[in-house]
Structure 1
Amino acid sequence: MFDSKLFEKVSINVSPEVANSFDDLDRDEYFANGIRKRRFCQLKMSHSGDAWNFEKLPLRPFLQPKLNNPLAGGILRYFRGIKVDVSPFLKKAVDVIKPDACIDWQINVHQYRVVAKPGIPGSPVPEGPHRDGANYILMICVRRNNVVGGETTLFDKNKSIVFRETLQEGEAIIIDDTRLFHDASQVLVQDSGSDGHRDIFAIGFIEWSRGKYGPEWERTHTGQVADPALIKHD
């Protein structure tokens, strides 16, 4: 189990196919603090025999309680699904975390591009230091193009800094989201003659029994369920 650690930094190989998939993200219409593009998917992770299995779940909107996200919590946010295979990243994370194999897990995968323009910084985390409401989080820096900044900071429950570093391409960090808060600083263009961007995956691991997927979760926190007409299938 990951219980003895608060976080661990790791290296992750990202294929050119996965890196290039960030060029096909939609603008996040729920994000008012600059330009962010994204896709989203969810999986169910179960252990059988001596291996973890990953089942991609039907696409539904993303929902966070306002407790975790005061800016965009409590609403159903509809995004197109992630196309690329993320299971190699999940396998890397579970090798480190060693999650309880006797239970199933929900995996929320967010694929982000934060865009910076000359004179207009990109804001990766507009809500500031926060928790995602997961058990564990894996954050992967895939690509940094013409940017500076985007420094990742982790805080303990007393808001004391326990980690502060700018993740480079191929670097990742696994976090105990039940015991740490996380934040990221603004992204600025390095060469003012062109735009820049920072591409990341943010992946949450949640005990399945906590029930954060499906109509009942949506109804409890919004009073409504997903509208099939708004689900953005490719």
Structure 2
Amino acid sequence: MTTSAFPPPCVPLDGLDAALQSQGFALIAAADVRRWLPADVAELDALHAGWDHLPADAFLKDGGHYRRRRHSCFVVDGQSVQQAPHRAHWQPLEYNALHGGMQRMFEPMQPELVALPVWSRLLTRVGEAVCALRGTQPWFVEAHPFRIDTTDGIGRPTPEGAHRDGVDLVAVFMLGRHRVKGGESRVFEADGPSGQRFTLTEPWSLLLLDDARVIHETTPIQPLVNGELGWRDTLVLTYRSGGFQGE
């Protein structure tokens, strides 16, 4: 596996909406994310602390033990954030060939994290970005805290391969990397040949994806030192109009 890391082509905050509209994705540097939310480092560290308590994913069909996660749902309508009753995560096979069609019931996010003021600010701010892209309306949000580790010697952030999620917007927050190599993000036109590749390394940098226009994947991670555990933490949010998938 190559250790080369292509830097992410970040855009300034005032270019976020234009980048999403013109190329189908936008990358925001961590310092700009903190201004955008707004949030300070201590608030974001308090939220990220919950990633040390993620249960193992019991639904991996490739037999792996490299993914830990939770899952909760919310409805975001302007500045209003309401947590929805806990439900299974479901995707159709056309969007997830590996795990589609399964009712996957994960443990919910910890109540103390959901209660943090920064959590609601984060959900509403991303909601503003998707409103600028699709029009003002309520959004049905699924939140996925992920830790991919090297327990098996290799960890797969996207075991389903390059994919779309069947939503309107996908937000991928890079929370942190610990003693790993790999994990290159790849974004491609859904209906064309163009694409970009880059490695997210900066804690709380952000990748926004117009799910109708692009497909995405992340390459596997490996430990920097053989035999030493490493991991990659992300928060993935999906925003969908009209309802949650599977309703």
Instruction: Pick the TM interval, shorter chain.
Output: 0.7 to 0.9
> Partner residue of 1:55?
82
Is the helix fraction higher in 1 or 2? 2
Q: Report deviation, 1:126.
A: 1.0
> Partner residue of 2:124?
91
> Partner residue of 2:92?
65
| Runs of at least 5 residues in structure 2 that lack an aligned partner in the other structure | 1-16, 35-40
RMSD: 2.0
Is the strand fraction higher in 1 or 2? 1
> Partner residue of 1:74?
101
In the alignment, structure 1 residue 212 sits paired with structure 2 residue 244: yes
Task: Supply the AA of the counterpart residue of 2:72.
Answer: C
User: In the aligned structure 1, how far is the partner of 2:194 from the partner of 2:53?
Assistant: 35
Q: Write out aligned runs for 1:1-234 (5 A).
A: 2-10=20-28, 11=30, 12-13=33-34, 15-33=44-62, 34=64, 35-47=66-78, 52-83=79-110, 84-85=113-114, 86-97=119-130, 98-100=132-134, 102-117=136-151, 120-158=153-191, 160-168=193-201, 169-207=203-241, 209=242, 211-212=243-244, 217=246
User: In the aligned structure 1, how far is the partner of 2:139 from the partner of 2:162?
Assistant: 25
Give the paired residue count: 208
| Runs of at least 5 residues in structure 1 that lack an aligned partner in the other structure | 219-234
User: In the aligned structure 1, how far is the partner of 2:196 from the partner of 2:61?
Assistant: 28
Q: Report deviation, 1:100.
A: 4.9
Distance 1:101 1:161, change over 3 A: closer
Dislocated runs of 4+, deviation >3 Å? 1-5, 94-97, 99-102
Distance 1:123 1:100, change over 3 A: closer
Does the 8 A contact of 2:150 with 2:230 survive in 1? yes
User: In the aligned structure 1, how far is the partner of 2:199 from the partner of 2:98?
Assistant: 25
Task: Supply the AA of the counterpart residue of 1:212.
Answer: F
Distance 1:88 1:160, change over 3 A: farther
User: In the aligned structure 1, how far is the partner of 2:147 from the partner of 2:127?
Assistant: 25
TM-score, normalised to structure 1, is: 0.82
User: In the aligned structure 2, how far is the partner of 1:89 from the partner of 1:167?
Assistant: 19
Q: Report deviation, 1:99.
A: 4.9
Q: Report deviation, 1:102.
A: 4.1
User: In the aligned structure 2, how far is the partner of 1:100 from the partner of 1:68?
Assistant: 20
Partner of 1:106, secondary structure, is: strand
Task: Supply the AA of the counterpart residue of 2:213.
Answer: R
Q: Report deviation, 1:161.
A: 4.2
Percent identical across equivalent pairs?
25
- Name the stretch that deviates more: 195-204 or 25-34: 25-34
Q: Report deviation, 1:101.
A: 5.5
